[in-house]
Amino acid sequence: MAGRAEAAFEIPVEEVTALVRTASELALEWFRRPLLIENKAGGGDAALGLFDPVTAADRAVEDTLRAALLERFPRHQVYGEERGRTGAPDAAGVYRWVIDPIDGTRAFVTGQPLWGTLLGLQCGDEVLGGWLHQPTSGHTYVAAGDTAVLHEGHRTVPLATSGRTSPDQAVLLCTHPDMFVGAESEAFERVRRSVRMTRFGGDCLNYGFLATGYADLVIEAQLQPYDIIPLIPLVERAGGIITDRDGRRPLAGGWAIAAASPELHQAALELLNG
């Protein structure tokens, strides 16, 4: 899908934010309760990393959000982790909503609260909006239209990175070191050894922490498009920069290097690429 939309689309930010919250909070019905965990990797050996969990909560959130979006925007396409693509066919100028119903399913099934629902709006190579809702805290990150904020209860906080430029002052976040294999691990270690502090875990929330100044770098790999497309606007609208290892926007997934400033991003890329 390439090109621009034929006609401008004014994003109903508040309405979409409400849809994301309503669908996301359905997952709380299953959180920290007994539930069936399936492995989307089939008969894969978990010891080899071939474990990709999915639950009824993932499917319920996606189905609810997908139905609401198609009812409200019948001429748009919806692409989700669990159900694939529905709605309008691929074509230039088609709007696509990108859903990750529970980003952090491993955290979800182990009772940890750092998971959330992601929604992005894409048209061709443009990412027009991004939402991240964390039901366990009620926090919602929104970057769409004229809005770039964190809704934190009754408080609304503008998105803004720390602006740090030097690795030796930076806090680095990453979901898990197993994202990197072989030479990739060595590349990640070069960055990790250069920063002030590294923390693992967090999944999608890592990008929210960067967009609100609590962290300065996020480096991850093995991502799918739905893992990262909704998070691109959060980072960019906060003043940060996010690319893959080759310096391109990570629309296809794979690597993501998000930084609080262009200078820090460039330093991280140089360290990664040796």
Closest CA to 126 of 144, 99, 110: 144
211 located within any domain: yes
68 and 152 in one domain?
yes
Among 111, 133, 158, where does a domain finish?
158
End-of-domain residue from the set 93, 127, 158: 158
Smallest Cα–Cα separation from 216: which of 144, 274, 167? 167
**AA letter at 143:** A
**Residue 49 binned pLDDT confidence (cut-offs 50, 70, 90):** low
* pLDDT tier, 46 (very low <50, low <70, confident <90, very high otherwise): very low
Domain match, 121 and 210 both: no
Neighbours of 240 (CB within 10 A): 28
Q: Are residues 177 and 137 in the same domain?
A: no
- Please identify which residue in the block is written with the tokens 């920290």: 32
Name the band, by pLDDT with cuts 50, 70 and 90, for residue 40: confident
The number of domains in the chain is 2
Task: Provide the pLDDT confidence category of residue 170 given band limits of 50, 70 and 90.
Answer: very high
Pair 259, 172: CB distance under 8 Å: no
Domain membership flag for residue 147 = yes
Main-chain dihedrals φ then ψ at residue 221, nearest 5 degrees = -140, 175
Q: Is residue 258 helix, strand or coil? A: strand
The whole domain housing 137 covers: 13-158
Structure tokens at 14: 């508040």
The residue type of 66 is R
d(CA 253, CA 81): 13
- Predicted TM-score (pTM) of this structure: 0.93
Residue 126 parent element (H or E): strand 126-134
Asked if residue 106 is part of any domain, the answer here is: yes
What's the pLDDT band for 42 if we cut at 50, 70, 90?
A: low
Number of other CB atoms surrounding residue 89 within 10 Å:
8
The CB density around residue 40, as the number of other CB atoms within 10 Å, is: 14
Query: Is residue 1 a part of any domain in this protein?
Result: no
Domain of 236, CATH number, reads 3.40.190.80
